[in-house]
Structure 1
Amino acid sequence: MARSPARLRAEDRTRLSSDGARPRGAAPQRPSSLRLWLRRQRPMLRPMLFGLAGLGVLGAGAVVVSALDPAGRFSFLAENVAEIAGEAGLTVSEIVVRGQQNTPRELIRAAIGVRLGDPLLAFSPTQAKARLESIAWIESAEVQRHLSGNILVTITERKPFAIWQHQGEFAVVDRDGRVVSADTLDAFGPLPLLVGEGAHRQGAALYDALKQEPDVQRRVQALVFVGERRWNLRLHNGTDVLLPEGHEDVAVKRLAELQRSSALMDRPLAAIDLRLPDRLVVRQQPAPEPVDPRANAQRRSGRG
């Protein structure tokens, strides 16, 4: 039998209620404590979120201006952005330098060019890197700027290799011949002495050959570059060892064999010439001049 529309609506309402709908008059659910706290803090959270978003936009804007304008035509815009960010609290809070051993700290501070409290976005890591790598001691530098306010600088220093004597002046050089210091020559321990024009650029290969022959190396006082072509070894006893051009390693091995067989470097010689592969030439030290007894007698009588 067909049901009336009124009966259909009543049955439908009953079915919906039995299927899980909330019965009329049931108590409403209470919101969680976290939701209540967020509602109370909403007036404070909104400005805070806007402020953080604004700082992010300022930081991104300064980075974009620096990247797209390497010539600095819009540097005033980046400066204004950095100033606004600084007033908003985005400043340098910490500067960390790693890898410093021999480079003077005052040179590093001057090259970084920023102090605590300065606007963070006004600091250019690229420019600081270029200034740091212009310092003689520094081979390479890495500079990082973090929005937390930290600046991290990591430097790789050149290693002192030898002391170079040139025109009466002394300087510490690295293996490539770059002068790294002209002061505190004794601060780096015993270093080989290179003498002559161009010796600072060519001395590493000969030094490596000497390291293979310790008996020869410990008797050498200086490595002397002659005419920017070949080398002499000046021994501690004053003997000069003349090495052939372009064959220094072979000559050093030959000298070590002569030292083991006949203690050649311990003899009172003026020079040991190894420039000829099939011949050894030695030159004796000049004998002292004989003393004339009559001259001594005259000098004694004159004093008397």
Structure 2
Amino acid sequence: MVQGNMRIHHQNNTRPKRSLPKRLSKKFWLYLVIGCLVLATLAFIWRKLDAWGHQLDVFMNKLQRQTGFVVEEVLVDGRQKTDKNHLLKTAKIHLKRPILSLPLSEVHDRIQSLPWVHEAGVERHLPDTILIRLKEHVPFALWQAGQKVSLISSDGKEIRIENPDHYAGLPKVVGVGALAQAKPFLVTLEKYPKVWKNFHYAQFVGKRRWTIFLKNNLKTRIDLPEKNYVSALERLQKYEKKHKATERFKHIDLRLKDKVIVKK
């Protein structure tokens, strides 16, 4: 019996061994040690500088007190509406404080936050005086949005004060969005004396148009169009000369172009 040749393949199931990580180089350890030393040195220097800075501040403050460079007087120029005590309290300027250590920019920002202040300037007059220059808002009108009533300045800004009722004699506008539109509208309205002398208040309707309410016997209401209300007022003025509409009608509607609609 002839036996054929048989090839036997031996499969090697053993996985190749992973090579062990090479040892870290001496340069790496050297750089690591140097880096740690640098960080430690910087941290030490930072702490020292902070301590030295504090000691320097203490020394400079003491030197200023000994030489008379301290705040002895605070002068205020241009103050009319702003309460002086409130001003000084907000500014945080204390007498006998070293004058060169007073941060003028921070003082300025605190003063600028006061409701009546439009522009502020703070000056250091050595050796012992601080001068505050104020330019205050000028009240122009009242603005009511919901239950909240504020003042409007002559430059169209809101003045938030506690008692705007003291300015009840000013013209009033009502409604959300009225603040931004109030000044140009009221300035225009002043040019029409028949309406202006009986003006009670104006309501900004739907953030897009004005309705005027008069304080005459009829409490007349005047509806202005969304666009070109100046042309509508001109039309009313001509109609008023002939028909005395504001003395005869409770409702005057000017919303339609070239028309005056009146109702008793």
Q: TM-score, normalised by structure 2?
A: 0.73
1:277 aligns with 2:247: no
Q: Where does the alignment leave 5 or more consecutive residues of structure 1 unmatched?
A: 1-72, 285-304
1:106 aligns with 2:98: no
Aligned partners of 1:206 and 1:249 also within 8 Å: no
For residue 161 of structure 1, give the secondary structure of its aligned residue in structure 2.
Answer: strand
Larger RCO of the pair (alpha carbons < 8 Å, separation 6+): 2
**Larger Rg, first or second structure (1 or 2):** 1
For residue 106 of structure 1, give the secondary structure of its aligned residue in structure 2.
Answer: helix
1:241 aligns with 2:222: yes
Structure 2 Cα separation of the partners of residues 94 and 202 of structure 1: 43
Structure 1 Cα separation of the partners of residues 82 and 53 of structure 2: 31
Q: What corresponds to 1:69 in structure 2?
A: none
For residue 139 of structure 2, give the secondary structure of its aligned residue in structure 1.
Answer: coil
Q: What corresponds to 2:96 in structure 1?
A: 117
Structure 2 Cα separation of the partners of residues 206 and 75 of structure 1: 57
Structure 1 Cα separation of the partners of residues 58 and 189 of structure 2: 57
Q: Where does the alignment leave 5 or more consecutive residues of structure 2 unmatched?
A: 1-49
> Which amino acid in 2 is paired with 1:229?
R
User: What do residues 217-275 of structure 1 show as CA deviations (whole Å, max 9, x unaligned)?
Assistant: 01221111000001000111322111111212221222222222211011142x21101
Q: 1:203 aligns with which of 182, 186, 191?
A: 182
Structure 2 Cα separation of the partners of residues 157 and 203 of structure 1: 20
Q: What corresponds to 2:152 in structure 1?
A: 173
Mapping of residues 129-208 of structure 1, within 5 Å: 129-188=108-167, 190-208=169-187
Mapping of residues 1-304 of structure 1, within 5 Å: 76=54, 77-78=56-57, 80-188=59-167, 190-236=169-215, 237-269=218-250, 271-284=251-264
Structure 1 Cα separation of the partners of residues 155 and 89 of structure 2: 26
Kindly state the Cα deviation for residue 177 of structure 1 after the two structures are TM-superposed: 4.2
Q: 1:78 to 1:283 in 2, by over 3 A?
A: farther
User: What do residues 176-204 of structure 1 show as CA deviations (whole Å, max 9, x unaligned)?
Assistant: 44331443335447211110001122111
Aligned partners of 1:203 and 1:223 also within 8 Å: no
CA-atom RMSD in angstroms: 2.1
Structure 2 Cα separation of the partners of residues 219 and 239 of structure 1: 9
Percent of pairs with identical residues: 29
Structure 1 Cα separation of the partners of residues 96 and 167 of structure 2: 37
Kindly state the Cα deviation for residue 84 of structure 1 after the two structures are TM-superposed: 2.5
Structure 1 Cα separation of the partners of residues 110 and 75 of structure 2: 17
> Which amino acid in 2 is paired with 1:250?
S
Higher helix share: 1
Q: 1:129 to 1:95 in 2, by over 3 A?
A: same
Kindly state the Cα deviation for residue 91 of structure 1 after the two structures are TM-superposed: 0.9
Kindly state the Cα deviation for residue 153 of structure 1 after the two structures are TM-superposed: 0.6
